[in-house]
A and B are shown apart, each in its own frame.
Chain A
Amino acid sequence: MEKKATREAYGKALIEIGKDEKVVVLDADLSGSTKSSEFKKVYPDRFFNMGIAESNMVDVAAGMALSGLKPYASSFAVFISGRAFEPVRQSICYQNLSVVLCGSHSGISVGEDGGSHQAIADISLMRSLPNMKVFVPADYNEAYNIVLATVKMEGPVYIRTSRAKSPIITEDKNFESGKAAVLKSGNDVSLIACGMMSYIALEAALLLKQDGIDVEVINSPSIKPLDEETVYKSAKKTKRVFTIEEHSVIGGLGSAVSEFLSENLPVYVHKIGIEDTFGESGTKDDLFCKFGFTKEAVAKRIKDRLNG
């Protein structure tokens, strides 16, 4: 199975959307890592390195949007959602500006850099802000198409990408905000995933099939707005919902699904994610083992819950 990182898609897609002369790209000294450097190679006059000053970068993007440009600003997820949170709130979201923010190196799959650099609350932070849309692509194809789709979107967008390569599991097709996709249909359990966890979810579903548990796997790249219809339909059918994400169980996809279902279709929901703790150094695979993000661990967890 072909493997590529979602951050690579960000760089490639920027080149494509760069044909629009209103598109400008900003980075904070991490352009080689976020892959915004790809845009710089083709459109150097519309690329602005703002140095290691993420807050100013976000405000500068706001000023550019107020002047009629379409800015894309990137940094590590931990910095753009954390360090720059205030300008994201005050300037981007409060003014509902059409600025696209990209946080790369999200979650624990950052690996060796350790807990200080592993964003575990970025979805939560960004999702809490009025006007903000939050997209978490499952793979390269989805990331590429999300970036293409954002050119015409009004208002702020946060795209969460990853450092590590992961299998390509979605088709190369147009992205629609607020739409989830059933990757595998099933009748016993709903497993709603985003990011790299969508692949793990599919694999776990295959294991559970052997135990006679028929899992419906849903890939939900649009955390906000959430595809409520797809979630509702699946939950109504299975009555047992699991969510999985490479993010804290507080405030992310699991919370979005829980918030919706608790008010509209109160069924059992169990959230799989990072349990209110920080990450640490290690290889991505070792960390996925430790944090329970392997197909075996996920399958076991679901089985245990169903039996418990």
Chain B
Amino acid sequence: MEDFKRLEEIAKTIRRNILTMLNKAGSGHSGGSLSITDILVALYFGGIMKYDAKRPNWEDRDRLVLSKGHACPALYATLAEAGFFDKELLWTLRQLGSPLQGHPDSKKLPGVEASTGSLGNGISQAVGMALATRVLKKKYNVFCIVGDGEMQEGLVYEALMAAGHYKLSNLIVIVDNNGLQIDGQCKDVMNIYPLKEKFEAFNFRTYEMSGHIYKNIMDTLTTAKRNVVSPTAVIARTVKGMGVSFMENRVEYHGVAPSDEELEKALKELE
């Protein structure tokens, strides 16, 4: 249990950094960044992913592709915390010349495995990375976080079909199922449910978990890594805006940065 306390503390720091960087940038995606924070913390600090921040191009590393690229403040804050680059860079988010682009750019920032942001393209690239191990004779895992709204993109299903067909057991797709997208609830905008059955139809082994309870996240992802026969999907129940009371489950905070006043309130909650 003590270990989870450590992860919770790291998550608090990362959430504070996410909100501060978004506030400084004056724009960006708050809600979806906060909903995937705990999953990222588990991946990078819970020992799920194999990586070396000093060697971001190490060939045997596990890869994380953030297919819902708009949640990149969470990825940037996590990578900075893990030591991929200087934390001071976080405060340059979205500014001219910054390697911290509005959506992730693999050419500009170490630790960003693929340029994403146009939804659906990330998961397809993750399939390519997972399939590449067959030719490279490597053993790395590829984790890919997709948004629930992103499940409306047709390209996602082309990717799932290929992953199932090639039995990519080194591919673990995590759905950030916070239930909200820009225009409202996913079920109202364009119903994506049921999700589990969709993945199973594409021959994925599928799990459901809380995206915020560390024991649950760690157990599920550890189990997912052991699967050697098929790709794995993990549908994570998450709360958009998690950790900041006035942002939680509020669609208004999908693409809005906190004001100075909101930031102050939020940081107090995250002390």
Contacting residues, chain B, for A94 (C-beta < 8 A): 105, 115
The reply to whether the CB of A91 lies closer than 8 angstroms to some CB of chain B is yes
A residues apposed to B, CB below 8 Å: 21, 24, 45-46, 48, 50-51, 53, 55-56, 58-69, 86-87, 90-91, 94-96
Task: Name B117's closest neighbour in chain A (CB-CB).
Answer: A90
Question: How long is the Cα–Cα vector from A53 to B165 in the complex, in angstroms?
Answer: 13
> A67, B129: Cβ atoms under 8 Å?
yes
User: How far does the Cβ of B100 sit from chain A's closest Cβ, in whole Å?
Assistant: 16
> B136, A68: Cβ atoms under 8 Å?
yes
Question: How long is the Cα–Cα vector from A63 to B162 in the complex, in angstroms?
Answer: 13
In the complex with contacts A51-B165, A66-B114, A90-B115, A45-B128 CB distance below 8 A: no
Total contacting residues, chain B, CB less than 8 A:
31
The reply to whether the CB of B79 lies closer than 8 angstroms to some CB of chain A is no
B86-122: contact bitstring with A at CB < 8 Å (1 yes, 0 no)?
0000000000000000000111000001110110110
Task: Name B124's closest neighbour in chain A (CB-CB).
Answer: A59
> A63, B155: Cβ atoms under 8 Å?
no
Task: Indicate the member of A61, A66, A87 with the most B CB atoms within 10 Å.
Answer: A66
Question: How long is the Cα–Cα vector from A51 to B202 in the complex, in angstroms?
Answer: 14
Contacting residues, chain A, for B107 (C-beta < 8 A): 95-96
The reply to whether the CB of B259 lies closer than 8 angstroms to some CB of chain A is no
> A59, B59: Cβ atoms under 8 Å?
no
Contacting residues, chain A, for B127 (C-beta < 8 A): 56, 59-60, 63
Task: Indicate the member of A50, A55, A60, A69 with the most B CB atoms within 10 Å.
Answer: A60
Contacting residues, chain A, for B105 (C-beta < 8 A): 94
Task: Indicate the member of A45, A46, A68 with the most B CB atoms within 10 Å.
Answer: A68
Contacting residues, chain A, for B129 (C-beta < 8 A): 63-64, 66-67
Contacting residues, chain B, for A62 (C-beta < 8 A): 114, 121, 124-125, 128
Indicate which residue in A48, A51, A68, A91 contacts B131 across the interface (CB closer than 8 Å). A48
Task: Name B123's closest neighbour in chain A (CB-CB).
Answer: A59
> A56, B124: Cβ atoms under 8 Å?
yes
A selection of 8 A-B contacts at a CB cut-off of 8 Å is A46-B135, A59-B127, A62-B114, A62-B124, A68-B132, A87-B121, A91-B114, A96-B107
In addition to A48-B131, A58-B124, A63-B126, 7 A-B residue pairs with Cβ atoms within 8 Å of each other are A51-B162, A59-B125, A60-B128, A66-B128, A67-B136, A87-B155, A91-B121
> B114, A95: Cβ atoms under 8 Å?
yes
The reply to whether the CB of B48 lies closer than 8 angstroms to some CB of chain A is no
> B118, A61: Cβ atoms under 8 Å?
no
> B128, A59: Cβ atoms under 8 Å?
yes
> A51, B161: Cβ atoms under 8 Å?
yes
> A55, B132: Cβ atoms under 8 Å?
no
> B124, A87: Cβ atoms under 8 Å?
yes
> B159, A59: Cβ atoms under 8 Å?
yes
Contacting residues, chain A, for B120 (C-beta < 8 A): 55
> B114, A60: Cβ atoms under 8 Å?
no
